[in-house]
A and B are shown apart, each in its own frame.
Chain A
Amino acid sequence: MATREVTNEAGMAEFLRQARCAWVIAKKNARVYYLKGPVLTFGIVFPLFFYLSFAAGHDAPVEVMVPGIAAMALFFTASAVGPLVTPWERQARTFERLVTSPASLSAILAGDVGAGAAFGALLALLPLVVALALTTAQIGAPLPLLAGWLLGATVFSSLGVLMAAPSTDTPSQVMMLSNLVRLPLIFVSGVFVPHAQMPKWGQWLSPLSPLSYCADLVRVGFGGTAYFSVTVDVLALAGFSAAFMIAAHFFHRRTRDRAI
Chain B
Amino acid sequence: MIVKPDAIVEPSIVAEGLTRRFGEHVAVDHVTFAIGRGEIFGFLGPNGAGKSTTARMLTGYLAPTEGRAIVAGFDMAKHPSAARRHIGVVPEEANVYADLTVRQNVLLMAELHGLSRLERERRCGELLQTFDLEVRAAQKGRELSKGLRQRLMLCMALVSSPQILFLDEPTSGLDVASTKMIREVIARMNREHGMTVFLTTHNMDEADQLCHRVAIIDRGRLAAIDTPAALRGRVEARRSVVVKFAGSGAIPSDVLPRPDMEVEPLVDGWRVFSPEPGPLAQQIAARTAELGLRIESLNTLSPTLEEVFLSITGSAHGHP
Contact = CB atoms under 8 A, between A and B. Distances in A.
Interface of A: 1, 3-6, 10, 14, 17-18, 20-21, 24-25, 28, 31-32, 92-94, 96-104, 257, 260
Interface of B: 5-6, 11, 14, 16, 56, 59-63, 70, 72-75, 78-82, 84-85, 87, 89, 91, 93-100, 104, 108-109, 111-114, 156, 166
A102 B60 CA distance: 10
B94 A24 contact: no
A160 B215 CA distance: 44
Given A3-B74, A32-B100, A93 B112 contact: no
B44 to A, nearest CB: 21
A21 B112 contact: yes
Nearest to B95: A93
A81 B72 CA distance: 37
Nearest to A105: B80
A24 B112 contact: yes
A247 B114 CA distance: 28
A31 B98 contact: no
Contacts of A98: 112
Contacts of B73: 3-4
B97 A28 contact: yes
Given A96-B61, A260-B62, A1 B16 contact: yes
Rank and list the top 4 A-B pairs by shortest CB-CB distance, nearest first.
A93-B95, A4-B73, A100-B89, A24-B111
A104 B59 CA distance: 13
Contacts of A1: 5-6, 11, 14, 16, 70
A17 B80 CA distance: 13
Contacts of B61: 96, 99-100, 260
A24 B108 contact: yes
Nearest to A1: B5
B91 A100 contact: yes
13 contacts: A1-B5, A1-B70, A3-B78, A10-B82, A17-B81, A31-B99, A93-B91, A94-B96, A97-B95, A98-B112, A102-B84, A102-B113, A104-B80
A31 B94 CA distance: 20
Nearest to B91: A96
Nearest to B96: A94
A103 B81 CA distance: 6
A102 B113 CA distance: 6
B246 to A, nearest CB: 55
B99 A102 contact: no
Contacts of A104: 80-81
A18 B70 CA distance: 21
Nearest to A17: B114
B51 to A, nearest CB: 14
Contacts of A3: 70, 73-75, 78
Contacts of B60: 99-100
A258 B93 CA distance: 18
A188 to B, nearest CB: 37
Contacts of B56: 96, 260
Nearest to B52: A260
A24 B115 CA distance: 12
B81 A102 contact: yes
Contact of A20 (B82, B89, B100, B114): B114
Contacts of A101: 84, 109, 112-113
A100 B59 contact: yes
Contacts of B99: 31-32
Nearest to A14: B81
Given A10-B82, A93-B93, 17 more contacts: A1-B14, A1-B70, A4-B74, A4-B82, A17-B81, A24-B112, A28-B97, A32-B97, A32-B100, A96-B56, A96-B91, A97-B91, A101-B109, A102-B85, A102-B114, A257-B62, A257-B63
A100 B87 contact: yes
Contacts of B81: 14, 17-18, 102-104
Contact of A102 (B70, B97, B112): B112
A104 B100 CA distance: 22
A85 to B, nearest CB: 12
A14 B70 contact: no
A93 B75 contact: no
A1 B12 CA distance: 12
Nearest to B56: A260
B92 to A, nearest CB: 9
Contacts of B75: 3
A257 B61 CA distance: 8
For A10, A92, A101, the residue with the greatest tally of chain B CB atoms inside 10 Å of its CB is A101
Contacts of A24: 108, 111-112
For A4, A18, A32, the residue with the greatest tally of chain B CB atoms inside 10 Å of its CB is A4
A184 B189 CA distance: 57
Contacts of A31: 99-100, 104
A94 B11 CA distance: 29
A104 B83 CA distance: 11
B288 to A, nearest CB: 57
Contacts of A21: 112
Nearest to B65: A257
A210 to B, nearest CB: 31
